[in-house]
Homo-oligomer: A and B are copies of this chain.
Amino acid sequence: MKATIVTIGDEILIGQIVDTNSAFIAKTLDKVGVEIHEILSISDSREHILATFKKLQNQVDLVIITGGLGPTKDDVTKKTFCDYFEDVLVVDEKVLAHVTELIEGFYKRPISQINKDQALVPSKCTVLPNTVGTAPGMWMKKENTVFVSLPGVPYEMKYLVENEILPKVIKEYQRPFILHKTVLTYGQGESLVAERIEAWENNLPDFIKLAYLPNPGRVRLRLSARGTDEAFLMKGIEDNVISLTKIIGDIIVGYDDSETLEFVVGQLLAKYKKTIATAESCTGGGLAALLTSIPGSSAYFQGSVVSYAKAAKIDVLHVSEETIRDYSVVSGQVAEEMALGIQKIMHTDYAIGVTGNAGPSKDDTEAEIGAVFIALATPNGVTSEEFNFGQPREKVIDRAINKALEMIQKEILKN
């Protein structure tokens, strides 16, 4: 079955917000074998919405629409939805009771007309109850296409996709199996990886498709298989991942999507019962934030000191004033003393120290913009490496964080 995702909102078309809803919907549906044909962002205008609905009618089995269901005047989706189906809006008593309970019971406010209007739905639609917000989802079929309208608030949308749409799709549609396996590599560029695996790639069976997803410093390779025999597809992917690993095992750091580097590092630390702490300057706590984004990270992450100011490096991390004077704050020596300092303070097995100049200006440091020193302290001592991550600021921070994670991972795997 095929689906198209439509996000409605001028804020997307003027670049004010990044559309993250579509990726969530696409990923969730892909897992149960729904092929996403297109993702489309359109304006809040009635004409644009109607023209889009007409174009998608019978082109795909399912159209998932997000946005434009809020209580305010700029939200036109619901009325347009109703027009398209030549239907009228009626009050849904269950939704009204839920909205009333939420506003009067939870928020302790008198309910207003604007709140009450959230309970208006097209008379012929199947209401998808939204227990985490006020605007319900709406499911309506015309000829061969089901149109589903969802609120644009991410956690309300997620709730409805997982609890309402997914069960209905699984129950009501025949779907093939779509399997993916992603191999995460680092340290070599896309062209180099492509050269190394050329013969392997040429030998891939027709039902497996390979995609390269390059990022600064890393390349993900995604194998996708689609078909009706799940066991056959799974074996095909597994066999080819094994043969791929034989060729580029030296640069593979993990498998599968959920296995981001912070997840992989977390798993390793948990497995070996090791702890870690970070002392961060130019990355500003970003490394700590990434490590703690993993549920269960409190088992291995002890803490961090973000020492932006020179005084913080000296007073808290006990970096020596002499070292700073002799080598400057952006130096391997300072990174190493930062790592040793935080390792001692937090009583950890491993520790990272990062100092650098992320730009945009050189400020009070001598260091070039983009220059970053990363030190790794282990139970056996400390080492540091120098990098230049170029520009702009966000790229420098991002690459420094990734590189630090790689250094930790390599170190743990040594043992």
Contacts and interface: CB of A to CB of B under 8 A. Distances in A.
Interface of A: 9-20, 22-30, 36-44, 70-75, 107, 109, 112, 114-115, 153, 155, 178, 180, 182, 189-192, 194-195, 201, 209-214, 222, 224, 257, 277-278, 280, 283-289, 291-293, 295-298, 301-309, 311-312, 315-316, 345-347, 359-361, 363, 392-395, 397
B38 A39 contact: no
A10 B304 contact: no
A27 B40 contact: no
A302 B308 contact: yes
A376 B311 CA distance: 22
Nearest to A393: B295
A16 B257 contact: yes
User: Taking the full assembly, how many copies of this chain does it contain?
Assistant: 2
A314 to B, nearest CB: 11
Given A195-B114, A345-B316, A308 B284 contact: no
A113 to B, nearest CB: 9
Name the prevailing secondary structure of the A interface residues: mixed
Contact of A12 (B37, B39, B295, B301): B39
Chain A to chain B: the 8 pairs with minimum beta-carbon distance, closest first = A15-B27, A284-B292, A285-B285, A285-B288, A15-B26, A304-B306, A303-B312, A39-B41
B18 A20 contact: yes
A211 B19 contact: no
B285 A16 contact: no
B303 A212 contact: no
Contacts of A210: 73-74
Contact of A212 (B74, B278, B280, B392): B74
A26 B39 contact: no
Most buried by B among A26, A287, A315: A26
A211 B15 contact: no
Given A40-B39, A394-B293, A395-B155, A72 B13 contact: no
Contact of A19 (B23, B293, B304, B394): B23
A13 B41 contact: no
B40 A15 contact: no
Contacts of A109: 192
